[in-house]
Amino acid sequence: MSRIKLIRFAENANRPDIVEPGKDTYQQLGGRWHEAFFQNNHPITLEVGCGKGEYTVGLAERYPERNFLGLDIKGDRIWRGSTRAEALGLTNVGFVRTRAHDLLTHFAPGELAEIWITFPDPRPRDRDIKRRLTSPRFLDLYQQTLQPGGLIHLKTDNEGLFEYTLEVLQERPGATILAHTKDLYATPELLPHAEDIQTTFERKYRTLGVPIKYVQFTLS
């Protein structure tokens, strides 16, 4: 491990906005995020696979009346998001270092108001279908942790993942596709719903001329 990563991991261990293995708060906040972490009752939005936290922090800056959490397994990435949030003086944002399939360990039923999935690994190989963040396995987890009617958003550059997600949702009882497009920036009426915050990946793909796909849906 590089010296820079070691320094960042040491900083993560002392940052109150980061929940990770080894801290007393890890696996202890499910059902208690409002009072024990944010100390308010504002709705909680989770970004699954937040990477460097660009979207999580961008949303937190835009909506101070809401709470935001970024979830990712990479401590180095979370450090970047936490550093940005600290520089902006944000108090409505936090980060959880864990895997997406452990959602039920960290969140109680109905604790989340909204979920974002931004530019996840598309897992194109058939043997990796269960690892796609919009596979039935993960949709089950989202449905359990979301409030009834809670929104889920997917932004991706990958057409295969986009089409797969639509198929899964169309076959899922109770799921409702509220909006979708194969080219978000050619569908300006959807931009207010999709937020115009752009991650590094999004800027990269737009520069290359790759259309950004977007789906907004509910599971109940």
Q: What is the DSSP string of 56-112?
A: HHHHHHH-TTSEEEEEES-HHHHHHHHHHHHHHT-SSEEEEES-GGGHHHH--TT-E
Closest by CA position to 60, among listed 106, 95, 14, 108: 95
Is 201 known to sit in a ligand binding site?
Answer: yes
Annotated catalytic residue, options 17, 76, 102, 121: 121
The answer to whether the annotation marks 200 as part of a ligand binding site is yes
Query: b vs e for 17-53, b when ≥16 Cβ sit within 10 Å of the residue's Cβ?
Result: bbbbeebebbeebeeebbeebbeeebebbbbbbbbbb
| 121 assigned to active site | yes
Q: Is 157 annotated to bind ligand?
A: yes
Is 199 annotated as ligand-binding? yes
CA 143/CA 43 separation, integer angstroms: 16
Q: Is 121 labelled a binding residue? A: yes
∠ at Cα 213 (110, 186), nearest 5°?
125
202 annotated to bind ligand: yes
Read off the amino acid at residue 209. G
3-state secondary structure of 45: strand
Annotated binding site for S-adenosyl-L-methionine: 47, 72, 121
| Binding site feature residues for substrate | 157, 199-202
- Active-site annotation, residues: 121
Residues annotated within the binding site are 47, 72, 121, 157, 199-202
